[in-house]
């Protein structure tokens, strides 16, 4: 590999999202050297609005490892969700069902900002605007990673292990030889227009509106910012949705005429999300370990992505520390086996939620049958305590 300088460490981490930053912080706390590279700028990753609902196990990981100061000071707990249908609205106080767990609402950009600051305070080496270009030695004794900075300069990084925490379209996946991992993929045929509105939440609960014209969702992010979702046809251009059109369609599908007007504000973000699931099996190749969306992309229908990433980071950190400090490789060999059952259980619930929220339109084929199944699922959720307890356990649990 061509390079100008060479740096040595124990664990190389690609990607400064929740997965990479939690992994890096846990390794530093245990005395394991690591070096983290991120191709975006610090300002970008600290402002990128993504997930905001943290599961109880995620909060546990952050608290137990001294990473929850900002979360504990500025988050809110949510314990209720509501479903609106043509028949009316019903609420589930899921915090009092199942295991009695709640969501902690803390926008991902705030969490990432906290994790970056803590990583640097612990003496971590974090290189922004530094792209991973080429990897070698993944199936050997030592990993080499060629990186390129924004000014075009290159460095060769060497380490014992490489953690790919840079998402579905990141470098880490491309570093795995073709055919070395089995890819499980499903396109659910559903797309959402994901919106961030500069407006306070319009209802106290997470709200899912099931409508013949398409799903709409409402989720709190902060006192002055609310996340909305609108089901749109695949291939939709977000630019086609003006603010007036967005608010009119949200009001229509959320049935504002029946339940009250929505609090309006400027639309801060518009992007289309295609509901897809993707799992790499195993989640490792030689000395490369995939974490978070790099290993298991999940649809946002059940708010599992960032939570799965944090749990995988905790699992990998423990395995790496055990190997580096004690020479015991058993936990590293089990990394995929330990993570994949959790991933598939989350995938199953996400798939179920997609069926719950999206009824096929029209009268062709099996569309009428599937809509009746959808109504039966909603009725079970409304009327059956057994179904409610199961929903609560899977909804919050990781």
Tell me, yes or no, if 304 is annotated catalytic.
yes
Q: Out of 39, 78, 211, 218, pick the active-site residue.
A: 78
Alpha-carbon gap, residue 80 to 92, rounded angstroms: 6
Q: Out of 106, 208, 229, 285, pick the active-site residue.
A: 208
H helix and E strand count, the chain: 13, 21
Residue 3 confidence (pLDDT): 44
Alpha-carbon gap, residue 104 to 2, rounded angstroms: 46
Residue 2 confidence (pLDDT): 47
Place of tokens 């339109």: 361
Residue 4 confidence (pLDDT): 58
pLDDT in tens, 225-280: 899 999 999 999 999 999 999 999 999 999 999 999 999 999 999 999 999 999 99
Tell me, yes or no, if 395 is annotated catalytic.
yes
Residue 360 confidence (pLDDT): 81
**Contact by Cβ (8 Å): 40, 140:** no
Q: Out of 228, 229, 335, 395, pick the active-site residue.
A: 395
Strands 267-281 and 284-285: unpaired
Q: Out of 300, 335, 351, 358, pick the active-site residue.
A: 300
Residue 52 confidence (pLDDT): 82
Tell me, yes or no, if 300 is annotated catalytic.
yes
Would you list the DSSP string of 92-125? E-GGGSTT---EEE--HHHHHHHHHHHHHHTT-E
As given in the structure block, the two tokens for residue 195 are 């919106």
Residue 270 confidence (pLDDT): 94
Tell me, yes or no, if 326 is annotated catalytic.
no
Q: What is the separation of C-alpha 2 from the centre of its chain, rounded to a whole number of angstroms?
A: 35
Strands 216-222 and 206-209: antiparallel
Segments of 168-215 assigned E as strands: 182-197, 206-209
Give CATH superfamily name and number for 5-185+276-350. FAD/NAD(P)-binding domain (3.50.50.60)
Tell me, yes or no, if 78 is annotated catalytic.
yes
Place of tokens 């070395």: 180
Mean pLDDT per 10-residue segment, the chain (398 residues): 73 97 98 98 90 91 97 93 95 96 92 98 98 96 96 96 95 94 94 95 93 93 89 96 97 96 96 94 97 92 89 98 96 97 95 91 85 93 97 90
Interacting residues of 322 by C-beta distance below 8 A, sequence separation 6+: 328, 330, 331, 332
């Amino acid at each position: 590999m061509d390079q100008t300088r060479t740096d040595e460490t124990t664990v190389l981490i690609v990607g400064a999202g929740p997965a990479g930053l939690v992994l890096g912080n846990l390794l530093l706390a245990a005395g394991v050297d690591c070096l983290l590279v991120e191709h975006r700028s610090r300002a970008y990753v600290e402002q990128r609005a993504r997930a905001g609902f943290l599961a109880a196990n995620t909060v546990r990981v952050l608290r137990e490892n001294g990473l929850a100061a900002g979360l504990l000071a500025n988050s809110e707990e949510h314990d209720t969700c509501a479903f609106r249908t043509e028949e009316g609205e019903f609420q589930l106080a899921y915090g009092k069902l199942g295991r009695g767990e709640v969501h902690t609402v803390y926008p991902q950009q705030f969490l990432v900002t906290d994790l970056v600051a803590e990583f640097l305070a612990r003496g971590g080496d974090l290189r922004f605007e530094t792209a991973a270009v080429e990897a070698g030695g993944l199936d050997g004794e030592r990993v080499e990673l060629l990186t390129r900075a924004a000014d075009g300069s290159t460095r060769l990084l060497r380490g014992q292990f490489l953690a790919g925490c840079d998402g579905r379209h990141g470098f880490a996946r491309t570093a795995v030889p073709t055919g070395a991992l089995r890819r499980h993929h499903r396109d659910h045929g559903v797309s959402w227009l994901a919106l961030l509105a500069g407006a306070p939440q319009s209802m106290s609960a997470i709200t899912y509106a099931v409508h013949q014209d398409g799903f709409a969702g409402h989720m709190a992010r902060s006192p002055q910012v609310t996340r909305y979702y609108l089901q749109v046809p695949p291939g939709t251009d977000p630019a086609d949705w003006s603010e007036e059109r967005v608010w009119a369609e949200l009001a229509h599908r959320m049935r504002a005429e029946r339940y009250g007007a929505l609090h309006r504000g400027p639309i801060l973000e518009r992007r289309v999300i295609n509901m897809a699931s993707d799992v790499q099996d195993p989640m490792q190749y030689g000395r490369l370990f995939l974490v978070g969306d790099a290993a298991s992309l999940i649809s946002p229908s059940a708010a599992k992505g960032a939570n799965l990433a944090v749990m995988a980071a905790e699992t990998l950190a423990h395995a790496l520390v055990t190997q580096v400090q004690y020479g015991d490789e058993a936990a590293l060999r089990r990394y995929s086996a330990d993570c994949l059952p959790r991933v598939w259980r989350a995938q199953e619930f996400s798939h179920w939620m997609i069926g719950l929220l999206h009824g096929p339109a029209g009268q062709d084929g099996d569309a009428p049958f599937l809509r009746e199944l959808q109504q039966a699922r909603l009725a079970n959720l409304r009327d059956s305590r057994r179904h409610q307890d199961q929903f609560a356990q899977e909804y919050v649990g990781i």
